[in-house]
Amino acid sequence: MINDREARMALSWIFDAGDPQVTEPLSPERSDASSPRRLLSQTLAGEFGPGLQRRAVAVDLVALTEAARRWKIRFVIPGDEEWPAGLNDLDSCSPVQRRGGVPVGLWLRGPGDLRQLTDRAVAVVGARACSPYGEGVAVDLAAGLAEAGVSVVSGGAYGIDVAAHRGALAESGVTAAVLACGVDVPYPRGNAAVLERIAKEQLLISEVPPGSTPTRIRFLARNRLIAALSAGSVMVEAAARSGARNTLAWAQALGRHAMAVPGSVNSALSVGCHDLIRGQQAVLVTRAAEVLELTAPMGEHLDQQRRGRVRRLDALDPVLGQVFETLPARGYRTAGEVSLAAGLSLPDSLGALAMLEERGMVMPHEGGWRAVPQT
């Protein structure tokens, strides 16, 4: 007798990603612990047609489990500690292009914890055939978000997707790739090195089991996951017809923030962004700070702006602060001049200068001292 998790593993192999025939019966609102096993029995009995019945008969859980073990892949399901609550919001959305619903489960590869990783996350998506402008914007946006401690979610594809992943990784930030294929399949081949690094350091995510190849319908299905795992989605360059627009449509349906980056009015690659902005379906954003303004918990980003940049003086005791403030960023002051300007004895001034030098805040030169500029 198989258990709930094994039944879900089998169903993820039998039914394609986001198929309402499986996601609707397993809706968190309507299902119970026995629902996956019951649904699997119904499929084996042919209630969903002969095609799916043949797949149900052919499913090999032993081989599936072995493939997962070999690639260090785990399968998480609703109710697991690692399952993000945001995915359950998909239950309230109607299918789009015959895809929708809460996934049966997710196949994960990498050390990142899915729930923790997506607790504060923003999706950055866009055109595969992007321009140098779009690529640069995606890298900068992702780097800025990563620097602020926000995870960057994207789809691992060419163009804007991989630029976003690279931007986050360049800042030693957190990024996750949601794939339309198995997490063991290096697709696209040109991004294999980046995807392998994400698998090693972060997290690859897929709704389809190991060994699965990408299809158009699976790309559409994975777009809803990108939107659901994020507080908002930013579209950077997209033509009039673009898969990235599907991601933003899901973001809107889920009540997440939908954002778009403007481009040249002469660029065909920015038509999709401009259409959404003009139709008030997306908020215009140009940098990470504006994305954080929308997606950060209420008041948090405003508090950061009010606090401003941390000043080095804030961490100094009064004596060190007095001495440091007397020093120029250009030119030098002698120890005697520092002593006079700070109103301290010469020994006290020399002692303070030595401590500041240890912290890398001052630099001696030919009997004088100057402040080292803050980087």
Sketch the domain layout of the chain as residue ranges: 65-305, 312-371
Mean pLDDT for the stretch of residues 247-274:
96
| Region 227-252 average pLDDT | 94
> Which pLDDT belongs to residue 303?
47
Confidence label for 369 from pLDDT (cuts 50, 70 and 90): confident
pLDDT at residue 92 greater than cutoff 70: yes
- Say whether pLDDT at 309 is over 60: no
Average pLDDT over residues 205-221: 97
- Cβ–Cβ under 8 Å, residues 86 and 229: yes
CB 100 within 8 A of CB 224: yes
Mean pLDDT of 20-35: 92
Region 326-351: what's the mean pLDDT?
Answer: 83
CA distances from 180 to 71, 301, 318 (A): 17, 33, 58
Q: Tokens 């926000």: give the residue.
A: 150
pLDDT at 301 over 70: no
What pLDDT score does 373 carry?
65
Q: How confident is the prediction for the chain on average, in pLDDT?
A: 91
Q: Does residue 300 have a pLDDT over 70? A: no
pLDDT at 314 over 80: no
Q: Give the pair of three-digit tokens for residue 93.
A: 């959305």
Give yes or no for a contact between 248 and 258, defined as CB atoms under 8 angstroms apart. Answer: yes
Whether the pLDDT of residue 155 is over 50: the answer is yes
d(CA 316, CA 321): 6
Maximum distance among all Cα pairs of the chain, rounded to whole angstroms:
94
pLDDT for the residue numbered 336: 86
- Assign 3-class secondary structure to 163-206: HHHHHHHHCCCCEEEEECCCCCCCCCHHHHHHHHHHHHHCEEEE
Higher pLDDT, 161 or 338: 161
Residue 40 near residue 56 (C-beta atoms within 8 A): yes
pLDDT band at 128 (very low <50, low <70, confident <90, very high): very high
Query: Could you give the angle at the alpha carbon of 215 between the alpha carbons of 271 and 202, nearest 5°?
Result: 85
What's residue 310's pLDDT?
47
Enumerate residues 6+ apart whose C-beta is below 8 A from 268.
239, 240
Neighbour-count burial for 184-202, b at 16+ CB within 10 Å, e otherwise: bbebeeebeebbeebbeeb
pTM for the full model?
A: 0.80
- Specify the pLDDT at position 307: 45
pLDDT digits (tens, 9 = 90+) for 33-72: 899 999 999 999 999 999 999 999 999 999 999 999 999 9
Vertex 156 angle, CA 151 and 161, to 5°: 70
Contact 226, 197 (CB under 8 A): no
CA distance readout (Å), 34 to 1, 28, 165, 351: 12, 12, 39, 73
Mean pLDDT score, 117-143 = 95
Q: Which residues sit opposite 283 in a β-bridge?
A: 259
Q: Which DSSP state fits 242?
A: -
For the ranges 15-29, 96-110, 318-332, which has the lowest average pLDDT? 318-332
**Locus of tokens 């026995």:** 34
Contact between residue 254 and residue 93 where contact means Cβ atoms under 8 Å apart:
yes
Dihedral angle, C-alpha 83, 89, 91, 97, nearest 10 °: -110
| Mean pLDDT confidence for 169-176 | 95
Tell me the pLDDT band of 337, cut-offs 50, 70 and 90. Answer: confident
> Nearest 5°: phi and psi at 124?
-125, 115
Question: Which stretch of 136-140, 249-253, 343-347, 371-375 has the lowest confidence by average pLDDT?
Answer: 371-375
Bridge partner residues of 7 (DSSP): none
Q: What was the pLDDT predicted at 119?
A: 95
Considering only residues 361 and 125, tell me which one the structure prediction assigns the higher pLDDT: 125
Alpha-carbon distances of 59 from 9, 53, 63, 294, rounded to whole Å: 10, 10, 9, 45
What pLDDT score does 311 carry? Answer: 53
Check: CATH 3.40.50.450 for 65-305? yes
**CATH number, domain 312-371, options 3.30.460.80, 2.30.30.830, 1.10.10.10, 1.20.58.740:** 1.10.10.10
Nearest residue to 48 (alpha-carbon basis) of 73, 30, 74, 25: 25
What SS3 state is found at 198? helix
Better-predicted residue by pLDDT, 107 or 367: 107
d(CA 92, CA 320): 59
Burial of 157 (0-12, 13-18, 19+ CB in 10 A): buried
